[in-house]
Amino acid sequence: MAMLGNAMYGLMTAWGVVTGVLVCVLIYRAALSNREEDQIFLCAAQEFMAADQRSIVARIERLTVPIRVLMVASGALLAGIAGLALWNVYEKF
């Protein structure tokens, strides 16, 4: 029984860390999205602004895969926690 409690504690800790990192990455992506312009009209002299917008879009796109991985990991850990909780109820029943 103590082993099940330790496993549950470990899974809950891992889930908390992964979900915390996921929330931080989502906040970072939202902050980048606020700096992105929907439409911008530039003349040749303002090419640096276009380059800045391209770099912001590239950063946002690079965050897509890590966000998906963190979401899957968080969901899998949550499912593991639920499975252990159900197993604990089954054993006590």
d(C-alpha 13, C-alpha 73), whole Å: 13
**Residue 52 or 79, more confident:** 79
Mean pLDDT in residue range 12-29? 96
Residue 8: which of 78, 73, 72, 69 has the closest Cα?
Answer: 78
**Quick check: 67 and 22 in contact, CB under 8 A?**
yes
d(C-alpha 33, C-alpha 69), whole Å: 20
Which residue intervals of 36-63 are DSSP H helices?
A: 47-62
The label of the residue with tokens 């109820």 reads 89
| pLDDT at residue 24, rounded to an integer | 97
| pLDDT at residue 40, rounded to an integer | 63
pLDDT tens digits, residue range 26-78? 999 999 888 776 666 567 667 777 778 888 889 999 999 999 999 999 999 99
Please give the C-alpha separations between residue 41 and each of 24, 49, 57, in angstroms, as whole numbers: 32, 10, 17
Domain boundaries, the chain: 2-92
